[in-house]
């Protein structure tokens, strides 16, 4: 009886609750026409009447969504037709209300911090907070909706392709607009809005439908993604600061993808992976034409990249051969020690404690920019009337490198070697009993991941102009591991998202520099509690972390059966 009463109360009060929530949505919508701050120095100047700023317009989008989600179901199931069953109206309305309130709260807090107190918050900000509170309170009286089933709608191919292209264009615009936010409060407010939109679309079932469309049009998705990434420098008006961040994100993501082989596919905990990136960077620096390099051998850059990858792979074999027979905490300790040994060794190669190769703690500065076929990466160029700076050139180079790394990672993941890695991760003893050469495959994972990190390090050396041992400390290894865990172990898109978050936030939120480790730790704790499989979940990992969820297991099993039937329909029909 106790379990039934709350639902009865919710059903009895759902119409008044929707009216209250809709009123809150109206208040939030009206608030964007009123000033939020007393002065114009906070956020993007929210001090005008009747002239909302871009961030206020973003908040207005959330207000419209709250209003629509609370009022549209009132027209009745008959008029909504199939939409009444395949869309989780109530759950999505609750998500929209909560995220709108959070966005308004971040904006008001930023105004108070930047202008020196809540007294600087004007009537518009308080209306936004009040409307958000009313909307959130009203959704508590709405019964929970079933899971969204938008992916059950049949859609033509042209609509799927159009949706993918529009999604990529929206991602390009959002990235350009977000990097253009210099103020930390503006960046946080915009970030909250973007997270809100993603959560609302997910609750609405849009991502399920987009996933189906992407699976059916994989080539269109890949081409659109790389086209958008290629066009990104044209949106920055020659800004070296933003393009430097973008290039660093790609270098960080390429290195994390190599670590993803070791951690995500094989399940080995490596806490010294930054050493392989450093090995590639120092090799490229030594072989460059820097005046501080003590080698007379200066091969072309493509040869340098391969040598850097090979050197990093050899280090992977050296550390892997004697230590991969241990696992778990012992392997983590050994790899942690290896990372510190690498840094100390680079410091000692100064001509006093060892041969003079790296100049010790001074490193190798003055690394020249790349110059191929008359295209100097260190000079600005005008392409299609747009200034393209030095860092944009290296961004495009890293885009090509990360594309090759993604191809290698994807093919390895779906190959016999990849299946062997997954078998080792699931149960090493069972895999060995079935004839899998576990030691050789783990050693291959270490060497392969190190090779990819070495390639990224070679580009990083020329991008940074100088290489020093202090750049490759344990903290960087921890960030790489956090990117893999946060984004989603064993996935490509997840690691790219995780690397972007962990590299972009410290650059935009520098006032958190003293407590960023605390914030990252809290973020990982929250992720482990609510979404341990990461932002983008691998199907196997999702089942491992939610093995008690029978409905999820059935859904994944149905997807695997459908995928197998698609690959070999005659065999599947025979088995059934």
Residue 138 · residue 18 · CB < 8 Å: yes
Closest by Cα among 36, 23, 5 to 137: 23
566 CB-near residues (< 8 Å, 6+ apart): none
The whole-angstrom separation of Cα 58 and Cα 254 is 32
| Cα radius of gyration rounded to whole Å, the chain | 26
- For helices 123-139 and 54-71, what crossing angle results, to 10°? 30
Six-digit token string for 17: 């609750």
Residue 491 · residue 499 · CB < 8 Å: no
Closest by Cα among 265, 159, 264, 160 to 218: 160
pTM, to two decimals: 0.81
Residue 255 · residue 277 · CB < 8 Å: yes
- What's the confidence (pLDDT) of residue 511? 65
The whole-angstrom separation of Cα 40 and Cα 48 is 9
Show pLDDT as tens, one digit a residue, over the chain (576 residues): 344 435 444 444 467 777 888 888 889 899 888 888 887 777 878 888 888 888 889 888 999 988 888 887 776 555 565 565 666 777 888 888 899 999 999 888 888 888 888 888 888 888 999 988 988 888 887 777 666 666 666 777 888 888 888 888 888 888 888 777 777 788 888 888 888 888 888 877 787 778 777 777 778 888 888 888 888 888 877 677 788 888 888 898 889 888 888 888 888 888 888 999 989 999 998 988 888 888 888 888 889 889 999 999 998 888 888 877 777 778 888 888 888 888 898 888 877 877 888 888 888 888 888 877 777 777 777 777 777 778 888 888 888 888 888 888 888 888 888 888 888 888 778 888 888 888 888 888 888 889 999 999 999 988 888 888 888 888 888 888 888 888 888 788 888 888 888 888 777 776 666 666 777 778 778 777 777 777 776 666 666 655 555 555 555 555 555 544 444 444 434 333
- What's the confidence (pLDDT) of residue 16? 77
Parallel/antiparallel/unpaired status of strands 371-372 and 375-376: antiparallel
The whole-angstrom separation of Cα 265 and Cα 412 is 10
- What's the confidence (pLDDT) of residue 86? 66
CA 207 to chain centre: 16
Phi, psi of 467, rounded to the nearest 5 degrees: -130, 125
* Torsion angle of C-alpha atoms 71, 73, 76, 82, degrees rounded to 10: 140
The whole-angstrom separation of Cα 363 and Cα 366 is 10
- What's the confidence (pLDDT) of residue 403? 87
């Amino acid at each position: 009886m106790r379990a039934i009463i709350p639902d009865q109360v919710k059903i009895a009060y759902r119409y008044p609750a929707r009216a209250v929530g809709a009123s809150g949505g109206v208040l939030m919508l009206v608030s964007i026409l009123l000033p939020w701050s007393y002065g114009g120095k906070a956020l993007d100047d929210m001090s005008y009447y009747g002239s909302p700023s871009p961030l206020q317009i973003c908040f207005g989008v959330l207000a419209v969504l709250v209003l629509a989600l609370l009022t549209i179901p009132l027209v009745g199931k008959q008029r909504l037709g199939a939409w009444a069953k395949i869309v989780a109206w109530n759950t999505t309305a609750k998500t929209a209300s909560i995220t709108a309130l959070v966005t308004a709260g971040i904006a008001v807090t930023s105004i108070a911090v930047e202008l020196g107190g809540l007294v600087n918050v004007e009537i518009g900000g308080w209306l936004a907070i009040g409307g958000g509170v009313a909307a959130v309170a009203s959704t508590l009286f709405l019964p929970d909706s079933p899971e969204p089933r938008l992916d059950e709608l049949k859609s033509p191919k042209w609509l799927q392709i159009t949706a993918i292209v529009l999604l990529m264009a929206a991602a390009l615009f959002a990235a350009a607009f977000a990097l253009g936010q210099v103020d930390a409060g503006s960046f946080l407010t915009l970030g909250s809005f973007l997270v809100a939109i993603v959560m609302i679309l997910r609750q609405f079932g849009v991502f399920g439908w987009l996933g189906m469309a992407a699976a059916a049009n994989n080539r269109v998705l890949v081409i659109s993604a790389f086209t958008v990434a290629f066009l990104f420098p044209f949106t920055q008006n020659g800004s070296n600061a933003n393009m430097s961040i973008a290039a660093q994100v790609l270098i960080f993501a390429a290195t994390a993808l190599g670590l993803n082989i070791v951690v995500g596919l094989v399940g080995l905990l490596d806490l010294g992976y930054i050493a392989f990136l450093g090995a590639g960077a120092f090799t490229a620096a030594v072989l460059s034409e820097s005046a501080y390099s003590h080698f007379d051998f200066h091969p072309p850059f493509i040869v340098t990249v391969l040598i850097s990858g090979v050197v990093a792979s050899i280090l992977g074999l050296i550390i892997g051969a004697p230590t991969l027979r241990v696992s778990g905490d012992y392997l983590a300790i050994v790899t942690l020690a290896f990372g510190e040994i690498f840094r100390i060794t680079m410091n000692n190669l100064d001509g006093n404690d060892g041969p003079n190769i790296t100049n010790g703690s001074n490193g190798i500065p003055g690394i020249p920019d790349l110059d191929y076929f008359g295209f100097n990466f260190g000079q600005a160029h005008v392409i299609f009337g747009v200034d393209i700076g030095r860092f944009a050139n290296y961004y495009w180079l890293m885009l090509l490198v990360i594309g090759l790394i993604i191809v290698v990672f994807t093919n390895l993941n779906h190959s016999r070697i990849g299946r062997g890695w997954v078998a080792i991760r699931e149960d090493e003893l069972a895999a060995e009993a079935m004839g899998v050469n576990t030691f050789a495959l783990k050693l291959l994972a270490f060497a392969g991941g190190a090779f990819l990190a070495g390639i990224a390090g070679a580009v990083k050396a020329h991008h940074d102009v100088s290489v020093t041992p202090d750049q490759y400390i344990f903290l960087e290894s921890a960030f790489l591991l956090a990117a893999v865990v946060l984004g989603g172990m064993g996935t490509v898109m997840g690691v790219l998202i995780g690397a972007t978050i962990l590299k972009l936030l410290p650059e935009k939120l520098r006032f958190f520099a003293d407590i960023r480790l605390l914030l990252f730790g809290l973020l990982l704790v929250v992720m482990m509690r609510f979404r341990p499989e990461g932002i983008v979940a691998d199907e196997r990992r999702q089942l491992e972390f939610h093995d008690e969820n029978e409905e999820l297991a059935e859904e994944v099993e149905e997807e695997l059966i459908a995928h197998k039937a698609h690959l070999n329909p005659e065999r599947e029909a025979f088995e059934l």
